[in-house]
Amino acid sequence: MNVALASRRTLVVNADMQPLSWAPLSVWSWQDALVAVVQERVIQVKAYEDVFVHSASQIFEVPAVVALKSYKKRRGAAFTRYNLFLRDGFRCQYCGGRFSSKELTFDHVVPRSKGGRSEWSNIVASCAADNLRKSDKTPEEAGLKLIRKPFEPSPFELDQVARKLPFALGDLHETWLDFLYWDSELDRS
Ligand SMILES: [Zn+2]
């Protein structure tokens, strides 16, 4: 396979032309996308202009963006490490500092030893220093204050955060940018 092709992926948008998900960004391998286009399960919205795939008898375009034929409703946000950091904007919820996912850790607001549960409403992103300071205490006991009460985010709320944190979206091919930013431009007016 040629090098240019190997790194290509296909952005998947919902029937409303918005990414199926922002966090993480909905992408397929171009192979999966091409098969789905040929089988008419999705619509090819945009193809890469500089790469093609040859079979024995045919030349195929490589899909850059494909759209689902019917609108897919979103399910609730998965309770994952990434989504939790995303909800908190990669900020320690005690000092407010911005950290990379490697530098952040979790904190149980009500410690597990005091019956605190591992759920959206009791876990926040925390920097290592504040996590150490807080240890097995409640925020009050540790002299720390939460900058925001933790909550269960909707997929839509996570999308809103991810769109403002380009680093959270990973590598973006320029072909996708029309689909990723056009309505955030409108938000500003
Ligand atoms: Zn901190």
Longest dimension (CA), the chain: 72
In contact, 23 and 49? CB cutoff 8 Å? no
169 C-alpha to center of ligand 1: Å? 24
Q: Which residue has the tokens 């990973």?
A: 170
Number of neighbours of residue 187 by Cβ within 10 angstroms: 9
How far, in Å, are 84, 164, 179, 186 from residue 183 at the CA level? Answer: 25, 12, 8, 5
Q: How far apart are CA 34 and CA 44, in angstroms?
A: 9
Q: Which of 32-46 are b and which e, b meaning 16 or more Cβ less than 10 Å from the residue's Cβ?
A: bbbebbeeeebebbb
The CATH number of domain 81-142 is 1.10.30.50? yes
E-strand ranges in the chain read 9-13, 27-29, 42-54, 59-68, 104-108, 123-127
> How far is the centre of ligand 1, averaged over its atoms, from the C-alpha of 157 (Å)?
23
Question: In this predicted model, what pLDDT tens digit does every residue of 4-63 receive, in sequence order?
Answer: 788 899 999 999 888 888 877 899 999 999 999 999 999 999 999 999 999 899 999 999
Task: Tell me the backbone φ, ψ of residue 76, rounded to 5 degrees.
Answer: -65, 160
What is the pLDDT averaged over residues 148-153? 96
> 9 CA distance to ligand 1 centroid (A)?
36
Specify the pLDDT at position 77: 86
DSSP secondary-structure letter at 91?
B
Query: Residue 92's pLDDT band (boundaries 50, 70, 90)?
Result: very high
- Distance (Å) from CA 124 to ligand 1 centroid: 11
> Is residue 24 reached through a cis peptide bond, with omega within 30 degrees of 0 on the bond before it?
yes
Q: What ranges do the domains of the chain cover?
A: 1-73, 81-142
In this structure, what are the phi and psi dihedrals at residue 125, rounded to the nearest 5 degrees?
-75, 140
Give ion ligand 1 contacts, CB < 5 A: 92, 94-95, 127, 130
* Beta strand 9-13 pairing with 59-68: parallel
Q: How far is the CA of 132 from the centre of ligand 1 (A)?
A: 10
Q: CA 56 → CA 53, 59, 60, 117, distances in Å?
A: 10, 9, 11, 58
Compute the distance between CA of residue 89 and CA of residue 148 in angstroms, rounded to an integer. 11
The mean pLDDT of 159-175, rounded to a whole number, is 78
Could you read off the pLDDT of 101-147 as tens digits, one per residue? 889 999 999 999 999 999 999 999 999 999 999 999 999 999 999 99
